[in-house]
Structure 1
Amino acid sequence: MKSGMNDVDRKVLSRSLLDIAWSFGPKGLDGSCCQDLGMAEFLALDGISRIADCPVQQVGHSLGFTKSGATRIVSRLVMKGYVSKRSSGHDARVCCLEVTEHGREMLSQAYAQYGNLLNRVFSGLDETEKGELQESLIRFSTLLMRENYQEENR
């Protein structure tokens, strides 16, 4: 795409990104994906699953939330049985999070459904197009996350 996008290009691209976000959000897949999780809860659960002994503050940082906002999300995940809390073995003042079996099942189910959707969508592309689209989406996501990080630290 040209660096000098016109207003129509920006609107079409913005709407396309919203459609993608909706389709891959917890309410996508006709609402069958993530049961009782909102987007922030789903992202928090996914983030917690990737970090051993994940501190609550890390959840807030990765989502751009305050500590109190992260605490509310974590409390909902604990209440729903997706996450458990415990004190850190290194510092008892630090609350660490761990994904429960129920939480792991939720993530596994969600990513299986997203994988099936991707397979169906990508089936209309040849191998070169699939590779290019995959690389472009990953690159776009990386740039967007970098921009968000820089924005937070200005």
Structure 2
Amino acid sequence: MDRYARRLNELLVDVYDKINRMEEQTVYGGDNHIDLTIGELHMLETIAKKKDEGCSISFIAKDQRITLPSVTVAVNKLVKKGYVEKKRAAHDGRQVLVKLTRQGRKINAGHQYFHENMVRNFTKELDEHEKEVLFTSIDKLNQYLQRKIEAAESKSNDIKTGGKL
């Protein structure tokens, strides 16, 4: 790895780590006494995507990229903590839909505020050109990562199916 690539890699890892640490400090620091893990906060974020209609266990699993049994266990914990509720779907009584409770909506709003505040405070130090360069660069990184993920998933599916679909 050349010097530029090594420095960029170190910077990306460091930024990722600092964002995670800031998120943890915001959630667990100060007067906040939240009984949720960062993973549970992100699950609330997924559930909030479907707003009032609720979302299925399979939707959560796909969005979070975790197994159905893992989602079921996590959702049951969130129900016990009072952040989500489970209801049978009106159109299909076999399907369980998960919705945020009032407490869950409140916690999710605070989590969203953390992300919005972080971006707002960081970008106010940038001029318009710097903002555009940053956005374009991160967008290209995101597209690259998405292509790599899709290629790996496609390869994994080919191996599982023996190249047959």
If the length of structure 1 is used for normalisation, what is the TM-score?
0.77
Tell me which protein shows more helix as a share of its residues.
Answer: 2
Query: What does 1:112-131 correspond to in 2, within 5 Å?
Result: 112-131=113-132
Q: Tell me the residue number matched to 1:33.
A: 27
Aligned in 2, Cα 1:60/1:150: closer, same or farther, shift over 3 Å?
Answer: farther
Please say if 1:42 is aligned against 2:36: no
CA distance in 1, matches of 2:45, 2:55: 11
1:37 maps to a residue whose letter is L
Give 3-state SS (helix, strand or coil) of 2:104's partner: helix
**Rg larger in 1 or in 2?**
2
Q: Tell me the residue number matched to 2:91.
A: 90
1:30-75 CA-partner distances (Å, limit 9, x unpaired): 6223633323222211111112321011111112211111112212
Aligned in 2, Cα 1:40/1:59: closer, same or farther, shift over 3 Å?
Answer: same
Q: Is the 8 A contact 2:24 2:38 kept in 1?
A: no
1:116-154 CA-partner distances (Å, limit 9, x unpaired): 222222232111211332343345335434543553343
Structure 2: gaps of 5 or more residues: 29-33, 158-165
Structure 1: gaps of 5 or more residues: 1-5
1:2-45 CA-partner distances (Å, limit 9, x unpaired): xxxx35444433333333333433x5246223633323222211
CA distance in 1, matches of 2:109, 2:44: 12
CA distance in 1, matches of 2:35, 2:143: 28
Give 3-state SS (helix, strand or coil) of 1:36's partner: coil
1:18 maps to a residue whose letter is V
Equivalenced residue count is 148
Aligned in 2, Cα 1:142/1:24: closer, same or farther, shift over 3 Å?
Answer: farther
Give the one of 12, 26, 41 matched to 1:17.
12
Cα drift, residue 98 of structure 1: 0.5
Q: Is the 8 A contact 2:46 2:64 kept in 1?
A: no
CA distance in 1, matches of 2:119, 2:43: 22
Query: What does 1:55-94 correspond to in 2, within 5 Å?
Result: 55-94=56-95
Q: Is the 8 A contact 2:41 2:111 kept in 1?
A: no
